[in-house]
Structure 1
Amino acid sequence: MEADARESGRRPSPDPPLCWSLVPFFGSCGLYLFLWLPAEEPSWNSALAKCLPILYLALFVYNTAPSGPYGRFVWLGLLCSALGDIVLIWPNQFLFGMTAFALAYLLYFKALGWQPTHKALLESVAAVIVLYFGFLQPHLPSRLSFPMLVYAVILGLMLWRALARGGSAALGGLFFSISDAVLAWDTFIWSLPSGRMIIMVTYYAAQALLALSTVEEGNDPLA
């Protein structure tokens, strides 16, 4: 009986197939962060290394997420993100890369749905976005001011819905915001000593958390 009690008190172990299916993601993250990132040069090889973790996450969602709009829109958002990763390897394609990520955020927004509303969360997110963009705007090239404003609004909407949903999606939304905030600072205001590492670690964490949200219970608000 004591043995049965000890067994019943144990937490259930993670599902081995689910854990193993993420090994390629973590391996490809390590490959990029420690072999490519320190001396990243624009090339198709570096573009592949950068987007490979996101492609593995897209495969993970495709294979494990229950059928329904939530997983489908997250999967499409991951593919758009991979495209953005490829394009942003070349600095002169910044606007096109930003467009790809804005589309990815819109797809995540669509996946997350409108309910529950949590109006107070929307007001808080809007206040932070307005304050940060107001600080950033004087440092932006004039041709990027309006596109960056549109991008910030889309990011804020996605963050609002992610926080309202909770769970892995909420943490993913927060990490996306941190990654983009550090990227904007590092690009337009002041280059940070470890800026690129912070940007990519928080970015990969955000994408992984959002991918994991597709296998959480009750994950399809659109169903």
Structure 2
Amino acid sequence: MDARKEGLPLKIIFSDQHPQVRRWLVPFILACSLYFLLWIPDDQPSWVSALVKCLPILCLVVFLWAVAPGGSYSRLLQGALVCSAVGDACLIWPEAFVYGMAAFSAAHLFYLWAFGLSPLKPGLLLVTILTSLIYYSFLVPHLEPDMVLPVLAYGLILTSMLWRSLVWGGSASWGGVVFTVSDGVLAWNTFVYSFPFARLLTMTTYYVAQLLLTLSALRDPGLKTH
């Protein structure tokens, strides 16, 4: 896949040329609104709270099926979204945190597969690695010994996804950056210091990131416009 084929500009995606896009985004917006309106407390894990949390991501799976079907890129994004939904459900229960990381690792591998490895852009890789090393140098000392390897393995996969999303460009690059910020806030709040509004910031950036990554599939040809 050609990394130069960036997604359509957002102002074109949401223009009158593409009413199908706006129509199929309504379920995602409503599902996000439901999550924030209900705001089920973290200390009340249940399958209902898991479903409410996963619903926006599942809506994006349907969105791709309706608006950008058939292409390998869209199918890989759908795979990433399904794995993300599994990860969301796991993170509802603290004891399933590692399983959640594994599911999100699989999601990032799907994104990596979608973005491809050409062109390499080693300079951009170096910047992302250095940035990640700075962050993890502060995070790792706060981890329990049995969490160091899983967290570092996840961080390596996330950093790789960020690198390839930046090379791919368009909304994918913004999605990769925002996803990394979301995960960074979540990890800091979980392992280092619990701060007010961390969950609100984590989930807001998370849903925005997944939306931006999803919108990267909207390239002509293949975009249903009516």
Q: TM-score, normalised by structure 2?
A: 0.88
Return structure 1 stretches of 4+ with deviation > 4 angstroms: 37-40
**Residue 165 of structure 2 is aligned to residue 170 of structure 1:** no
1:52 maps to 2:69: no
Report the residue type matching 1:187 in the other structure. Answer: T
**Residues 144-223 of structure 1 correspond to what in structure 2 (within 5 A)?**
144-217=147-220
After TM superposition, list the pairs within 5 Å mapping 1:12-161 onto structure 2: 13-37=16-40, 41-161=44-164
Closer, same or farther: CA 164–37 of 1 in aligned 2, 3 Å? farther
Letter in 2 for 1:182: V
3-state DSSP of counterpart to 1:21: helix
Offset at residue 14 of structure 1 (A):
4.6
Distance apart, 1:13 and its partner CA: 2.8
Report the residue type matching 1:115 in the other structure: S
Distance 1:56 1:40 in 2: 26
- Match of 2:9? none
SS of structure 2 residue aligned to 1:41: coil
Ranges in structure 1 where 5+ consecutive residues have no aligned partner: 1-10
Cα deviation per residue 1:58-104 (whole Å; 9 max; x = unaligned)? Answer: 11112222422211111001000001111110011000000000000
Residues 1:40 and 1:55: Cα distance change in structure 2 (over 3 Å): farther
Aligned mates of 1:191, 1:123 — CA distance in 2:
31
CA distance in 2, matches of 1:77, 1:71: 10
Deviation of the 1:39 alpha carbon: 6.0
Indicate conservation of the 8 Å contact 2:20/2:67, yes or no: no
Return the alpha-carbon distance in structure 1 between the equivalents of residues 186 and 110 of structure 2: 21
Q: Offset of 1:116 from its aligned partner?
A: 2.2
What amino acid is aligned across from residue 215 of structure 1 in structure 2? L
In structure 2, C-alpha distance between the alignment counterparts of 1:190 and 1:68, rounded to whole Å: 43
Aligned pair in 2 of structure 1 residues 218, 161: CA closer, same or farther (>3 Å)? farther
CA contact (8 A) 1:125 1:156 kept: yes
CA contact (8 A) 2:170 2:216 kept: yes
**Structure 2 Cα separation of the partners of residues 138 and 209 of structure 1:** 33
Percent of residue pairs bearing the same amino acid type: 46
C-alpha RMSD of the superposition: 1.6
**Letter aligned with residue 180 of structure 1:** D
The structural deviation recorded for 1:119 is 1.2
